[in-house]
Structure 1
Amino acid sequence: MTKTPDGKKGGTDGNRTGRVVGDALREAYDEAIGEAIPAEMLELLKKLD
């Protein structure tokens, strides 16, 4: 059995941390999706067609 450095059993803190990270990633994704595409980028994309 592997011991954690502080002697505590793992599990609950990791789940909470994972949830916090997941929430932060979802928030960042939602913000990015809501941003407008700059005109310069749209012009470049049109040149690819």
Structure 2
Amino acid sequence: MRSGGSGGQVLSSDDQAKLPHREKNATIPAKDRDMGSALRSIYQQTIEEKIPDEMLLLLGKLD
């Protein structure tokens, strides 16, 4: 295993072979599905949030 440029890890084919095999049709437990849905909802709300004018002014000064 080696580190990627952004701090993540890149798995080599040898490392991937060591991972437990997951079936393609494995069911996702309800609590995991609900957690994923909640996280997607929060993410969507965050990216749709308006950027405050004060922040835009500060960012404009960086140019």
Aligned residue pairs, count? 37
Identical-pair percentage:
51
| Greater strand content | 2
Unaligned runs of 5+ in 1: 1-11
Which structure has more relative contact order (CA 8 Å, sep 6+)? It is 2
For residue 41 of structure 1, give the secondary structure of its aligned residue in structure 2: helix
Q: Which structure has the bigger radius of gyration?
A: 1
Amino acid at match of 2:42: A
**Match status 1:27 vs 2:41:** yes
TM-score with structure 1 setting the length: 0.62
| Greater helix content | 1
TM-score with structure 2 setting the length: 0.51
| Cα distance between partner residues in 1 of 2:32 and 2:59 | 36
Q: Which residue of 2 aligns with 1:17?
A: 31
